[in-house]
Structure 1
Amino acid sequence: MRVLHRASPWRELFAGDGQPELAKLLAPLREALDELGPSPDLPVSHAWQLRLAEALQRLDLPAWRISQLISDHNDQLYRRAIQLSLSEMQGQGWGKPPVGFCVLTLGSAGRHESLLGPDQDNAMIVADYPDSRHTEIDGFFQALGERFTARLDEAGIPLCNGHVMARWPMWRKRLSEWCEQLSLWTRERRVKRVQQSNILLDFHPVFGDAGLAEALAEHVARLMPRAGLFLNEMAQLLDELPVALNRFGRLSASDEDAPHEKALNLKRQGLLPLVNAVRLLSLRHGVSVPDTRLRLSALVLKEALTARQARAGISALDRLQERLLAAQLASLKVGGAADGWIDMVRLEDDQRLLLRHDMQAIRSLVRLAQGSVGGR
């Protein structure tokens, strides 16, 4: 077997006797940006993300950082789609927004942990206004929500099958209504309300008045540590997404919807259990940062995790993202989809051992999260 090796451009930093040529060092990224051009439309810009991911890999960036940058790029696409929609509405006589508002990205986008191929998960907070103006004001923001989500769909970020988008009243509310809804959801342990909250509680302001998002975050911080029944149901729901291990602690892939034999849904059986467990621990202990890596570190400061447990969680997250990104890139290159599946047959023995180790660390975090609220 012939092993091909591509030298890292970072190794060129001190290869000569003088100062390094930064332009050469960053050539992969510069070339990718040159291909994109100065003013691409939304579909072209979104399709370019594959090229961006390859360039960032060539620069030796880890998958977690590439994930952040892909998420940042998606934020930019959101802002452009919203600005285009607002301009279109103004040209059609709608005028300017009647009150302040803030569009939120949710889930992996809100945590800035998106890889390639996410769908839309978004919401909108509208500044409080009198009920007498509801038809007028909500009509404006409904039209805005429909327009910008349609633009993103046309660009290649598909509409959410679960309707978690600002075009729907469920995910477009006044600030006081959002606060009231969360207060209502957290009073009882109902599965549907917990599932909806899991989507909502990882949010990031992407456009508009960020103060509205800050106000909602403050309400969540006051509410969640006292919501015992709600957190207990959240803990029980962790069993709905079991880690990819059998009862003997060996790797075990789910057969549900598998595209082929020996396929493992790394997102569903690895990343999501980890993310959900860390979110639960963060809500329980009043950690307000949104992304999983920072949450794990913050939980150490809260003495909810040991430094060793946090490091194990961060390492597992990093390696799972690395493995999933590699699988997505390989799939896209042959005309496939950027989904959550990996092929177990393609893993080397050491990769299998590391994956098993990471799954065991994730299962330990899940059990710890359940135990923190009496969820088992």
Structure 2
Amino acid sequence: MQTHWRELFKGPRPAANVARVMEPLQSHLAPLEQGPEHRPDHQPALAQQLLDLSLPAWLVSALLSDHNDLCYRQAIEQALEQMQAQGWGPPPVSFCVIVMGSGGRHESLLHPDQDNGLILEDYPPEHHNEIDTWFLNLAERFTATLDQAGIPFCRGDVMASRPLWRKPISEWREQMRLWMSTRRVRLVQLCNILFDFAPVYGDEALAEALRDAILEQRAEAGLFMHEMAELFDEAPVALDRFDRLQGDGREAPHPEAINLKRQGLLSLTAALRLMALIKGCPEVGTRERLQWLHTQSQLSDDEHWCLSRAFEHLQAQLLDAQLQAWHAGAVPDNWLDPRSLCDGERRELQWDLQQIRRFQRRVRQIRN
């Protein structure tokens, strides 16, 4: 099989060939140092180049997420510099910007949106207006920059520019206590986004304090976790009762289309998120949660292998579909056309989804 790596031993000096092998990748990385505005033009080509270097899709996804994190840092630093130049002064208290959802799990592909929040150091209540105004200004600036860089505003308003997602750490702790002591559907839906978070800029100790608050609340969250299991029905895997591939039809571009993120990847991450919470797992990423649960004997060898394989294969299929759309001049999305798959690929996809559905049923039983 011919790959870029085969160039290493062409000629008498393999070490000298490394630069030639990596040159195509370097040509895509260099513009990304200049600012987030270069992301839309270069990230799909970067993904293709990484695949051409034979990296697995899960690692490409992690690197794309790392690049998005870089865009966050660049956007935040630009906003801080602008505010300093305009007389806003330095940040009035310590803070941490967090990313949530697939970005927090470091599993973004080529169709991300913004899910972010701000955790602030506690401050005297009498200074709330001036301090909150400062951070609102910061949030509005960096979220607007990210939107222009191809990481669009969240349609559900899960952004640091909204008061619900911007508050001092003591208020975050209280919010977790209140949200996790009930089984209201909307609050569970919001927590399903929040729980998969990671710090991207600022004082990471604030993010760790929030993580501790979530794990400490588990003992009082029985009804809440029961509702998490009930919400598995919101995103069933893309199989009918006869195990045939079938999308849910929501906003589908054609009747056969399957939203592989909503009815595959998110079905797995939802079940895994609940099991991780039940067992006190501190990890966020899917592969990391699977490994932790396996190490703690909460997953058998077979379960760990099957679910890891299903996750990695679904990511590979979706990334391939997104790159095909990009090469065709279309905007990458989360849709897969099963008609584009050969019989073996369809059977493989069915098998992946069967493993996820079986796991969902097992996690439900833990709660019931």
Q: 1:169-219 deviations in whole A, cap 9, x for unaligned?
A: 000011000010001011111101100000100111000100100111111
What's the offset of the Cα at 1:225? 4.8
**Aligned pairs (5 A) from 1:68-87:** 68-87=62-81
What's the offset of the Cα at 1:18? 5.1
Counterpart position of 2:265: 271
What's the offset of the Cα at 1:32? 2.2
Counterpart position of 1:50: 44
Counterpart position of 1:9: 4
- Residue in structure 2 matching 1:28, options 5, 24, 27: 24
Counterpart position of 1:151: 145
Counterpart position of 2:166: 172
What amino acid maps onto 2:165 in structure 1? W
What amino acid maps onto 1:23 in structure 2? A
Q: Secondary structure at the match of 2:19?
A: helix
Contact 2:101 2:193 in 1 (8 A): yes
Distance 1:324 1:225 in 2: 37
What's the offset of the Cα at 1:17? 5.8
What's the offset of the Cα at 1:74? 0.4
Q: 1:131-172 deviations in whole A, cap 9, x for unaligned?
A: 111001111001111111011111211111100000000000
Counterpart position of 1:3: none
What's the offset of the Cα at 1:300? 1.3
Find out whether 1:299 has 2:293 as its counterpart. yes
Find out whether 1:188 has 2:197 as its counterpart. no
Contact 2:246 2:256 in 1 (8 A): no
How many residues align structurally?
A: 367
What's the offset of the Cα at 1:333? 2.0
What's the offset of the Cα at 1:336? 1.7
- Residue in structure 1 matching 2:83, options 89, 102, 114: 89
Report the identity percentage.
48
Distance 1:154 1:322 in 2: 27
Distance 1:31 1:97 in 2: 36
Counterpart position of 1:359: 353
Q: Alignment RMSD, CA only?
A: 1.5
Q: Secondary structure at the match of 2:253?
A: coil
Q: 1:292-349 deviations in whole A, cap 9, x for unaligned?
A: 0010111112222112101111111111010000111111222222211011111011
Find out whether 1:19 has 2:14 as its counterpart. yes
What amino acid maps onto 2:96 in structure 1? C
Distance 2:114 2:270 in 1: 19
Q: 1:73-117 deviations in whole A, cap 9, x for unaligned?
A: 000000010011011111111100000000000000000000002
Q: 1:243-265 deviations in whole A, cap 9, x for unaligned?
A: 11111122222222111232111
Distance 1:345 1:157 in 2: 30
- Normalising by structure 1, we get a TM-score of 0.94
Q: Which runs of 5+ in 2 are unaligned?
A: none
Q: Which runs of 5+ in 1 are unaligned?
A: 1-5
- Normalising by structure 2, we get a TM-score of 0.96
Find out whether 1:242 has 2:218 as its counterpart. no
What amino acid maps onto 2:203 in structure 1? D
Contact 2:35 2:74 in 1 (8 A): no
Distance 2:336 2:160 in 1: 32
Contact 1:243 1:363 in 2 (8 A): yes
Contact 1:266 1:340 in 2 (8 A): yes
- Residue in structure 2 matching 1:285, options 266, 273, 279: 279
Find out whether 1:257 has 2:268 as its counterpart. no
Distance 1:96 1:30 in 2: 35
